[in-house]
């Protein structure tokens, strides 16, 4: 599973970051599934799997949760981060730890709520 760059500018000053695409490829049968990600900005992270669900972050600062159900790729925005991100989420104990433009946020994957936030002296 991997994401694309967006058709937007990914610029901090633009109202839309453009749309990217998430792809799921099966090396066993060559099947390719895809779904558009509206106003996502580019997907510059690795997609990580945990418990049959897949997580990734877009440059627009959105944490996504994806799954393949009945041959369909389904994607939902889990939460919006406090800033743009190109960091691969770390999944541990039902939480996602994600670096973004001004720090690190911890997201509860059940509720999508931010449970902790840490500022950093520079972009992560």
pLDDT value at residue 8: 75
pLDDT value at residue 93: 96
pLDDT value at residue 27: 85
- With a CB cutoff of 8 Å and minimum separation 6, the contacts of 41 are 6, 8, 10, 17, 18, 20, 58, 59, 60, 61, 84
- Could you list the pLDDT tens digit for every one of the 124 residues in the chain? 999 988 876 565 555 578 999 999 988 888 899 999 998 989 999 999 999 999 999 998 999 999 999 989 999 999 999 988 999 999 999 999 999 988 999 999 999 999 999 999 988 8
Q: Tell me how far the alpha carbon of residue 112 is from its chain's centroid.
A: 13
Alpha-carbon separation of residue 109 from 56, 90, 122 (angstroms): 12, 12, 26
Find tokens 């509860």 and name the residue: 108
pLDDT value at residue 18: 86
- Beta-strand (E) ranges in 26-93? 32-37, 48-50, 53-57, 62-69, 72-80, 90-92
CA distance 96 to 106: 6
């Amino acid at each position: 599973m991997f994401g694309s760059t967006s058709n937007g500018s990914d610029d901090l000053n633009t109202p839309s970051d453009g749309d990217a695409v998430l792809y799921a490829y099966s090396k066993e049968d060559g099947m390719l599934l895809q779904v558009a990600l509206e106003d996502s900005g580019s997907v510059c992270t690795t997609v990580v799997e945990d418990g049959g669900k897949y997580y990734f972050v877009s440059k627009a600062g959105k944490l996504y949760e994806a799954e393949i159900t009945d041959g369909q790729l389904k994607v939902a925005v889990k939460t919006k981060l406090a800033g743009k991100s190109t960091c691969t989420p770390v999944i541990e104990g039902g939480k996602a730890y994600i670096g973004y433009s001004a720090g690190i946020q911890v997201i509860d994957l059940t509720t999508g709520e931010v449970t902790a936030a840490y500022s950093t002296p520079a972009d992560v």
